[in-house]
Amino acid sequence: MIGAGGFIGSHLCEKLMAETHHTVLAVDVYCDKIRHLVDPAPPHLAGRISFHRLNIKNDSRLEGLIKMADLTINLAAICTPADYNTRPLDTIYSNFIDALPVVKYCSENSKRLIHFSTCEVYGKTIGSFLPKDHPLRKEPEFYVLKEDESPCIFGPIVKQRWSYACAKQLIERLVFAEGAENGLDFTIVRPFNWIGPRMDFIPGVDGPSEGVPRVLACFSNNLLRREPLKLVDGGQSQRTFVYIKDAIEAVVLMIENPARANGHIFNVGNPNNEVTVRELAQMMTEVYANVSGEAPLDEPMIDVSSSQFYGEGYDDSDKRIPDMTIINKQLGWNPKTPLKDLLETTLTYQHKTYKEAVKRQMSQASAS
C-alpha cells in the first residue's frame, strides 16, 4: 500500500488489520498516522504489517516490494487544492510522473493494481455553463457524474487549479490503456470528499503554520482557535461528503472481489450528503459548539476571495454528485452515515486531539 501513512491509508491499514487476514507492506515517506500499527507492530499484528519508509520518486526498492505483493494500492499523491495552483509542477509530477513506475511494475509483473484517482477528474458540471436560473440546471443529466458517460471539463491552462485533475486524468487513461493493451488487472477509485478523523493536519500543530489543508481541517482549525470560518468566493460551491469508514468498506469490497472490481472505475461518495460550503460551515459551527461546550462566535463566518485565500490560478468544481449505479451493481455498496453524524464523530475527535495543543501553540505565539 503506497501512501499508507496518509489519511485514507491509515484507515485502510486499520481495517485490514482488524477485519481481514491480509498482510500489508505499508509504504510512505512518513508513518505518524499509522505509528500505532507499525512502530512497533503490536504483538497480535506481528508479521502482518511492516512499514517501508521510501519516496517512490527515486527508490529502487519499489519494484521489489511490488513483486512481493499480490495487489498494489496506490494512494500516494499531492492532493490538497492549495498546492494545485501554487505548486503545479510538484502536483503534476506527484500525480502523473511518480505514479508511472507503479503502473509499469504492476503491468510488467502481472500484479493487480487499485489506483486512487479523484472525483475532480470530472471538473465542472455541464449545468455550470448554463445561465444561473436556467431550468435545465435542475435536470440530473446536467450535473450527476457518471463514470462511463460524463465528460471531464476543466478550465483553461492559466487556471492552474486543474493541474491536479489533468494529471489524474492522464494516469487514469494510462492505467486503462495498460488494461486494454497489456491485460493489466486494475481498478480505479474516484473518491468524492471522504472525511473523518486524521484528515490532513492542523496548521502550526502537526503541519506547517502557513499550510492550507482541505476544508474539513481548515474549518476545524478555525473552530479550535475560535476564529471565523473563511468562506471562499461566498461558499456557494456544493460538495457531497462521505464518512471515511463507509468509504473504506467500499475499498475492502474491491480488494476482496477482484472479479467484480477489475476493469472498473468506481465513484465512491455519498450523494445524500450534499451541502454548499456555507451550509457545511454552519453545520460544523453548530456541531462543534455541542461537542466542545463553547458558544459559537457572534460572527462565525467571513467571506474571502479565492485569490486572497489560494492565490492566482484558483478555480473550483461547482457541484459533485456521484452516480452510484456501477458500484451498487458490481459491489452492492451503499454509504450509510448522514453528514450530521459524521461531523459529530469527527469534531469530537478534533476537539479531543487538538484543543490543548492549539491553546499551547497560541499562547507560545502570543508570548514570542
Residues lying near ligand UDP in the complex (CB under 6 A): 81, 120, 193, 214-215, 218, 230-232, 235, 237, 239, 277, 316-317
Say how far apart CA 63 and CA 323 lie, in whole Å: 35
**Shortest reach from residue 23's CB to ligand NAD, in Å:** 19
Closest CB to ligand NAD among 119 and 347?
Answer: 119
Q: What are phi and psi of 361, to 5 degrees?
A: -65, -40
Q: Is 75 in the site for ligand NAD (CB under 6 A)?
A: yes
49 contacts which partner out of ligand UDP, ligand NAD, none, CB within 5 to 8 A by kind?
none
Residues 190-229 that bind ligand NAD (CB under 6 A): 191, 193-194
Give CB contacts under 8 A, 24+ apart, made by 61-64: 62/27, 62/101, 62/102, 62/105, 63/101, 63/105, 63/109
Question: Which range in 52-60, 65-73, 228-236, 324-332 contacts ligand NAD by CB under 6 A?
Answer: 52-60
**DSSP calls for 198-256:** T-S--BTTTB-TT----HHHHHHHHHHTT-PEEEEGGG--EEE-EEHHHHHHHHHHHHH
Q: Which does 277 bind (CB under 5 to 8 A by kind): ligand UDP, ligand NAD, none?
A: ligand UDP
Element (H, E) at 133: none
End-to-end CA distance of the chain: 42
Looking only at the bridges linking them, the beta strands covering 229-232 and 301-304 are: parallel
Residue 262's alpha-carbon distances to 48, 255, 286, 334, in angstroms, are 25, 10, 42, 19
Q: Is 84 considered catalytic here? A: no
CB-based contact 33:10 (threshold 8 Å): yes
Among positions 72, 85, 91, 118, the unique one binding ligand NAD when judged by CB under 6 A: 118
Would you say 110 or 305 has its CB closer to ligand UDP?
Answer: 305
Residue in 84, 105, 122, 164 annotated catalytic: 164
Q: What's 71's DSSP letter?
A: E
Closest to 194 (Cα-Cα) out of 168, 214, 172: 214
C-beta closer to ligand UDP: residue 69 or 171: 171
Stretch that binds ligand NAD, among 49-57, 228-236, 260-268, 358-366 (CB under 6 A): 49-57
Candidates 99, 92, 59, 50; CA nearest to 76 is 99
Scanning residues 84 to 103, which ones bind ligand NAD (CB under 6 A)?
A: 94, 98
Q: Which does 172 bind (CB under 5 to 8 A by kind): ligand NAD, ligand UDP, none?
A: none
**Binder among 76, 145, 283, 343 for ligand NAD (CB under 6 A):** 76
The binder of 232, among ligand NAD, ligand UDP, none, by C-beta within 5 to 8 A per type, is ligand UDP
Residues with catalytic function: 164
Task: Provide the binding-site residues for ligand NAD, judged by CB under 6 A.
Answer: 3, 5-9, 28-30, 55-57, 75-77, 79, 94, 98, 116, 118-119, 191, 193-194
